[in-house]
């Protein structure tokens, strides 16, 4: 029996269309919505297999071309960091 598996880009697009969250770090079960709620989760990303690190460094959701943070969210996080707080 032939089983067709969708590729990671297709899965990502379907999840995005359904407003689902996306995993940023699978090993530590950290999603994009968790990061947006509390940026301190970023310190846990990459602490196991490390495969998520190159994507995070490029602000990309692993397996996609979608940004983790919008430009506005990055500016807000930068401003909050300068004030010593977490965004």
Pick from 14, 3, 11, 49: which is nearest to 28 by CA?
49
Tell me: does residue 48 bind ligand FES (CB under 6 A). Answer: yes
With CA atoms as reference, report the closest residue to 23 among 50, 63, 58, 54.
63
12, 35, 45, 61: residue in contact with ligand FES (rule CB under 6 A): 45
Per DSSP, 41 falls in state G
Q: How far is the CB of 8 from ligand FES (least distance, A)?
A: 13
Which of 52, 61, 68, 77 lies at the binding interface for ligand FES (CB under 6 A)? Answer: 52
Measuring CA to CA, how many Å separate 61 from each of 15, 17, 41, 43? 12, 15, 15, 16
CB of 51 to ligand FES, least distance (A): 5
Site for ligand FES in 15-34 (CB under 6 A): 25-28
Q: Which chain residues interact with ligand FES by CB under 6 A?
A: 25-28, 45-52
């Amino acid at each position: 029996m032939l089983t067709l598996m969708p590729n990671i880009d297709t899965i990502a697009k379907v999840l995005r269309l359904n407003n689902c969250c996306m995993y940023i770090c699978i090993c530590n079960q950290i999603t994009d919505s968790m990061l947006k709620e509390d940026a301190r989760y970023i310190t846990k990303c990459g602490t196991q297999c490390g495969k998520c690190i190159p994507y995070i460094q490029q602000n990309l959701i692993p397996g996609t071309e979608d940004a983790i943070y919008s430009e506005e969210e990055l500016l807000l996080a930068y401003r909050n960091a300068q004030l010593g707080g977490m965004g």
